[in-house]
Amino acid sequence: MEASGIGSMIHYPVPPHLQPAYAELGLRDGDLPIAERIHREVFSLPIYPGLKPAQVEHVISVLRHA
C-alpha cells in the first residue's frame, strides 16, 4: 500500500484484552485467539468524506492487484 502512495495502518496493534486498561482481568496472549488474529490481520484504509472518486478507484485497484 505504501509503495502505491496509499496510507494504511494496523488500527489495533494490541488486542483489547491485552491493553493495560484491562490488566485486572488477568487475560494473557492466547486467551482470545479470534481477537488476536483480527488484530494481526485487520488494517485501516483511507476513508473520509473528502476522498475523491479517483482516489477510491486507486485504492481498489491496488487492493485487487495485491
Q: Taking the mean position of all CA atoms in its chain, how far away is CA 65?
A: 19
The single residue listed with the C-alpha cell 496472549 is 29
For residue 9, the SS3 value is strand
Please give the pLDDT value at position 32: 96
pLDDT in tens, 13-58: 889 999 999 999 999 999 999 999 988 888 888 888 999 999 999 9
Q: What is the pTM of this model?
A: 0.60
Using the predicted structure, report yes or no on whether residue 7 has a pLDDT greater than 90.
no
Decide: residue 15, CB within 10 A, 0-12 exposed, 13-18 middle, 19+ buried. Answer: buried
In angstroms and rounded to an integer, the radius of gyration of the C-alpha atoms of the chain is: 16
